[in-house]
Structure 1
Amino acid sequence: MHLPSALTPLRHPAFRLLWLANLCSNTGMWMQNTGAGWLMTSLAPSPLMVSMVQVASLLPVFLLALPAGALADIVDRRRFLIVAQAWIAAAGTLLAILTWTGSLGPWGLLALTFAIGIGTAMNSPAWQATTPETVPRHDLTGAIVLNGIGFNLARTIGPALGGFTVAAAGAEATFALNALSFAAVIVALVFWKREAPRATLPKEHFLSAIRAGLGYTRASPVLRAIMLRGFVFFLFAAALWGLLPLLVRQQLGLGPQWFGIMLAAMGVGAVAAGFLLPSLRSRLDRGATVTVAMVVTGGALILLGQAQHWAVAMLAMLLYGVGWLAGASTLQASAQLSVPAWVRARALGIYQLSTFGGLTLGAGFGGWGGEALGIGTALGLSGLCCAAGGILVRRYAIEAPPSEPTAENAPAPAVPKPEPVSQSLAALLAGDSGRVMEVVRYRIDPANRAAFLAAMAQCRQVRLRSGAQGWRLYEDVAHPEHWVEFWLMESWTEHLREEGRLTEWDMKVLAGAAALHRGSTPPRASRYLNVMPGLPG
């Protein structure tokens, strides 16, 4: 049977298994979010306290995204995910019991929502990093969009089920069903036969892994641009999440069923956008898609803020779902495609640090604005800022430029190799060494100085993305044709990891610089070990 293009990633069994399990858990999570938001309107019905439910859910992801990404890259990812799911299930069960017994107050609700957010924070980078392991690269963008469709399909079903469940059995029933839904994910992870990559080197240390992830991000202009645009988008789009329960209850005068229906309408718009995105990608690049998504999302928030009838609010929520899915999934796909496998979970964790930081601030400011200015005005201003922000940051490219690096038509010489390690250092290098200084010496025709400097600017980014802690380039004052490039690695083990971290693009960049070298032999590379690391300097 021929699948629609948006569903083709489901032909891969591992992806299909995890996708269905994630759909189940996301449905439960949206039911819980609906129950928690509505329960707070009874426990403490102020805009600030209701928005704090969203802050408590999002803040852990902001705080823990980076360490969670580092752990997901250096431990067994499957086991890590199982532990995270079990934590969420346990916290959800406790929340259900306390609500059922009448022992839960507003601050207890926030505390347990925060605990569930901790599990989500630990789970999220690892879960997203599994997608490239379950589909080939040519299906990766489609798989990420399909993940967004699944998330928003759950957003369509979950809030509606949550609203009716709250009306029929109370908020505690939504909390219990959420805890139960995570059992499906744990079962799927148990049955997933993950082929872990074979490692010839020791596992990275936790702090070293974090430093490497931060270093990669600093040296990746594309990833930094994705983070900036994601932060701006989510900062202003997040006002909806804290204010929607009160808008439904106070401005529209409707009950919990309608809260769920409004969220379901958003999910319908998001699912529709997911099916349209494959054809949209042939007309717009990813950057333009994000800009359009931010304008649509902003317009939807303005319309929602002025809504006095459920039909107008439903239309606004449909449009919001279209913009949200198009923007969020395009940014997520850009982040996934811009990073190599060795740093993927860490880089996605850092990306989430920026996006969930925007979500957390946006939800908090939305609640403050609802109290100070009114719900409709706060939503309208957020929408205006979202659309304007999308236009202002559109110049930051979220795709790597298609042009080839320096000397694209020149024969690609081998990357300079180090000289053999002497026997006297072999035993020392087998253990934990001190820093390693790597040096490459070039001889460059002075006429090619400008081209060489441009090539070395790209080389600097390659070295830093691969784990270098510092990089320098020196020109010989007496002999301007002589140049020395050097950079520092944390240890000999990190130096050994370096070559495996180089992508095909990185190799072309280094080869382009080497092609400018003048001489009968390639540029000479050397490695120097700090054999007395305890001394200052």
Structure 2
Amino acid sequence: MRAYLPAMPLLRLPRAFAPLRHSVFRMLWLATLASNIGGWMQNTGAGWLMTSLSPSPFMVGLVQAATMLPVFMLALPAGALADIVDRRLFLLGAQAWILLMALILAVLTWTDSIGPWGLLALTFAIGAGSAMNFPAWAATTNELVPREDLVGAIALNGIGFNLARALGPAFGGFAIAAAGPEAAFALNAVAFLVLILALLFWKRTEAPSRMPKEHLLSAMRAGLRFVSASPAMRAAIIRACAFFLFTAAVWGLLPLFVRQQLGLGPQAFGLMLGVMGLSAVAAGFALPALRSRLDRSQTVFWASILAAVAMGILAASHHWAPAALGMLFYGAAWIAAGSTLSASAQLAAPGWVRARAIAIYQLSFFGVMALGSALSGWVGGSFSVPLALGVAAAGCAIAAVFVRRWGIDSVALAETSQGVSHEPQPGAPAAELRGLLGEASGRVLEVVRYRIDPAQRAAFLAAMQEVRRVRLRSGAGTWGLYEDVAQPDLWVELWSVDSWTEHMREESRRTDWDRAALARAAALHQPLPGAAAGGEPAPEAARFLNVNP
């Protein structure tokens, strides 16, 4: 399935803008830019409003926690739904929900009917809509551009996000100064209306499939199994958690930092965020040159060190000039680490599970951001805002050193393929059992028998380590490898899936890389003497249906 249209000629545009030549991507990118600007205006208004309703550092920190916590709670089901339902309708529903909640918040604020807990509740509701939107939109990118533009499109999404972060807080600050926080909330609703209109113009076509739709719970389990068996995804998640846990302190404490430590008003708050956003946009354009000198792991490491330096500068600042410098460094570090980690996660996931894998990645880093924002608010309230920022700076630097061993440079674009399978094929189901095969069949046990030269034992075990990950990534619930104690050259591989339908999905979920891993293990199989006359030319495969008498 591809929704992008033939590309228009690209006239001397920077390489970062190349994906915009695809009209559908361009339309949705611009509409998403508008909605992100509105979202940052809403965040700015909510944070500033809380400093008036309840100015304690803990309550102000909870505003950011209420924004991010829904992602932690809803990301996985949202990603599963985005993979199994019409993605366009799903995105439309999420935007409509955000629009409704933003209007309610604007009206309640305008009538002075909002309190601190009501603000947190509606911020949480808007965050819930965003949580449903994030994985679906990220997984949609590969439908809007061809593969050669995918990495550029992911980077451009990051540039757009940070451009919105530069403009949105500044617009929000001026809107608050001119007409109060309710103006920022109302403008957020208008921005999401723009995105709804763009989605209505998008004519998405879904590729036909002979397989039935996955159920929500089984889809969620398959997503978790994929991520748990994917070293590339795990590395991206670990590195993201280490970075975002500590850098979340800036988001949680910036309103109080501006008001108490700098003694400035909402315009300065918006402009500080604007400086950070503009720095992030500039760094986004510089990233292609940076990546020619540093690999992905090094980029994230040095971005983490730069973020630690930035938070240290903020902790020591009592004037707007050094504070602006700190925000400048922080914005560059944020885009460098965030876009690199996001691209690594997206490129590690094949199409069938992409939204779920991205959702789990987002669940992880938004969860630690919510935790980091709340913890920094607690430290700031119990001690001081400068101390909280200083602790976050030290923690970010230490964590960056600790997680360097989890490299993210081996990530390659993973796509399913319908090529020739290298896996031994079992016999066709018996006619009398075909009526039992389907989603209600019960668990299916799959078996492959190998005959391995004892001299190749170590090589076979190494190959089977990757085979195990292939089976789990494709949907296996359990996996095991057994050696015959009486005949050391005989081995049995066992794995199970939830149903016959899940077994049928296995083949379509495998990538060419997965098939190569299976072929390496099968190549170590040694046929019995006389195989040409009817021995064992390849590993023997079989399938067994669970029966409970």
Shorter-chain TM-score range:
over 0.9
Which residue of 364, 372, 389 corresponds with 1:354? Answer: 364
Measure the CA separation in 2 of the matches of 1:399 and 1:464: 22
Structure 1 residues 93-492: aligned runs within 5 Å: 93-400=103-410, 414-430=422-438, 432-492=440-500
SS class of match (2:404):
coil
Measure the CA separation in 1 of the matches of 2:216 and 2:451: 39
Deviation for aligned residue 1:197: 2.7
| Counterpart contact for 2:347–2:411, Cα < 8 Å | no
SS class of match (2:318):
coil
Which residue of 66, 86, 104 corresponds with 2:96? Answer: 86
Partner of 2:8: none
Measure the CA separation in 1 of the matches of 2:513 and 2:338: 27
Runs (5+) with no aligned partner, structure 1: 403-411
Partner of 1:407: none
Paired residues in the alignment total 524
Counterpart AA for 1:89 = L
Deviation for aligned residue 1:430: 4.2
Deviation for aligned residue 1:138: 2.2
SS class of match (1:393):
helix
Deviation for aligned residue 1:431: 5.4
Deviation for aligned residue 1:428: 1.2
Which residue of 493, 502, 511 corresponds with 2:510? Answer: 502
Runs (5+) with no aligned partner, structure 2: 1-10, 413-419, 532-536
Deviation for aligned residue 1:161: 0.5
> Over residues 96-150 of structure 1, what are the superposed CA-to-partner deviations in whole Å (9 max), with x where a residue is unaligned?
0000011011111011001101101111111111111112222222111111110
SS class of match (2:408):
coil
Counterpart AA for 1:38 = W
SS class of match (1:329):
helix
| Counterpart contact for 1:305–1:380, Cα < 8 Å | yes
Identity of aligned residues (%): 62
Deviation for aligned residue 1:28: 0.4
Measure the CA separation in 2 of the matches of 1:320 and 1:396: 23
Measure the CA separation in 1 of the matches of 2:428 and 2:81: 34
Structure 1 residues 330 and 431: CA distance shift in structure 2, 3 A: closer
Partner of 1:529: 545
Measure the CA separation in 2 of the matches of 1:370 and 1:471: 48
| Counterpart contact for 2:438–2:499, Cα < 8 Å | no
Measure the CA separation in 1 of the matches of 2:404 and 2:77: 30
Counterpart AA for 1:297 = A
| Counterpart contact for 1:338–1:400, Cα < 8 Å | no
Counterpart AA for 1:214 = L
Measure the CA separation in 1 of the matches of 2:438 and 2:379: 59
> Over residues 285-329 of structure 1, what are the superposed CA-to-partner deviations in whole Å (9 max), with x where a residue is unaligned?
111111011111111011011111111111111110000011111
Counterpart AA for 2:142 = P
| Counterpart contact for 2:439–2:499, Cα < 8 Å | no
SS class of match (1:238):
helix
Deviation for aligned residue 1:44: 0.6
Deviation for aligned residue 1:400: 2.4
Measure the CA separation in 1 of the matches of 2:389 and 2:421: 57
Two-structure CA RMSD over aligned residues (Å): 1.2
Counterpart AA for 1:527 = R
Deviation for aligned residue 1:58: 0.7
| Counterpart contact for 1:152–1:268, Cα < 8 Å | yes
Deviation for aligned residue 1:455: 0.5
**Mean Cα displacement is larger for which, 261-270 or 304-313?**
304-313
Measure the CA separation in 1 of the matches of 2:311 and 2:203: 44
Deviation for aligned residue 1:41: 0.7
SS class of match (1:389):
helix
Tell me the TM-score normalised to structure 1 length: 0.96
| Counterpart contact for 2:307–2:330, Cα < 8 Å | yes
| Counterpart contact for 1:338–1:399, Cα < 8 Å | no
Counterpart AA for 1:428 = L
Deviation for aligned residue 1:401: 7.0
Counterpart AA for 1:478 = A
SS class of match (1:152):
helix
Measure the CA separation in 2 of the matches of 1:367 and 1:32: 20
| Counterpart contact for 2:422–2:516, Cα < 8 Å | no
**Mean Cα displacement is larger for which, 240-249 or 427-436?**
427-436
Measure the CA separation in 2 of the matches of 1:530 and 1:413: 26
Deviation for aligned residue 1:413: 8.1
Which residue of 47, 72, 78 corresponds with 2:82? Answer: 72
Counterpart AA for 1:526 = A
**Mean Cα displacement is larger for which, 322-331 or 1-10?**
1-10
Counterpart AA for 1:4 = P
Do structure 1's residue 51 and structure 2's residue 68 form an aligned pair? no
Deviation for aligned residue 1:414: 2.6
> Over residues 369-398 of structure 1, what are the superposed CA-to-partner deviations in whole Å (9 max), with x where a residue is unaligned?
111221111111101111221121011012
Measure the CA separation in 1 of the matches of 2:85 and 2:421: 36
Counterpart AA for 2:545 = L
| Counterpart contact for 1:74–1:203, Cα < 8 Å | yes
Structure 1 residues 72 and 401: CA distance shift in structure 2, 3 A: closer
Measure the CA separation in 1 of the matches of 2:171 and 2:229: 45
Counterpart AA for 1:248 = V
Measure the CA separation in 2 of the matches of 1:186 and 1:462: 39
Counterpart AA for 1:394 = R
Do structure 1's residue 512 and structure 2's residue 528 form an aligned pair? no
Counterpart AA for 2:299 = T
**Mean Cα displacement is larger for which, 334-343 or 218-227?**
218-227
Structure 1 residues 5-44: aligned runs within 5 Å: 5-44=15-54
